[in-house]
Amino acid sequence: MFTSSLFSFQGRLRRSEWWLIRLVVLGALVAGVALVAVVDAATGLTGEGSADLPLGLVLLAGFAVVVWIELAAGVKRLHDQDLSGWMMLLILIPGVGALFALIVLGILDGTAGPNDYGPSAKYPDRSRLAAMLFD
């Protein structure tokens, strides 16, 4: 369930979940770079026979996973505000993109209630809940 929510571009994502994903991904990146540095230092190999190529491939694969997770989280965060996921392309604009990501993805609240991308986790449909409790 958790991995499908990390890799899927469907549905909505609350701000708190987006920030949590950002922190976990940052921690994983730091741990990965530290692990590569430790392994590289422990092998002591340079030049031919070096462990640089396998470590580089591991880092590249990890980077691809991180980019996918970040894109999926950003798209779902936009869906929470009833915006198209294609607006994620705005983060590619130098300078403006980082500000866009911080404000739109990290600060602005989502749409109250259901929208085109699904029900809200933060604002549940209370009429449906009341009908379930009192019927």
pLDDT digits (tens, 9 = 90+) for 1-60: 455 578 889 999 999 999 999 999 999 888 888 887 787 777 765 555 555 677 778 788
Residue-wise pLDDT tens digits, 55-111:
778 788 888 999 999 999 999 999 999 999 999 999 999 989 999 999 999 999 999
Element (H, E) at 106: helix 106-106
| Per-residue pLDDT at 1 | 42
Total domains, the chain: 1
Look-up of token digits 């070096």: 50
What SS3 class is residue 115? strand
Number of other residues whose CB lies within 10 A of the CB of residue 24: 12
Element (H, E) at 50: none
Q: How many helices (H) and strands (E) does the chain have?
A: 6, 0
Alpha carbon 22 to its chain centroid, in Å, reads 6
| Per-residue pLDDT at 95 | 87
Look-up of token digits 């983060």: 91
Number of other residues whose CB lies within 10 A of the CB of residue 72: 21
Alpha carbon 99 to its chain centroid, in Å, reads 17
d(CA 72, CA 115): 18
Report the candidate in 1, 7, 15, 2 with the shortest Cα–Cα distance to residue 108. 15
- Please tell me the pTM assigned to this model: 0.79
What domain range includes position 77? 2-134
Q: With bands split at pLDDT 50, 70 and 90, how would you rate the model's confidence at 129? A: low
- Structure token pair of residue 8: 């899927």
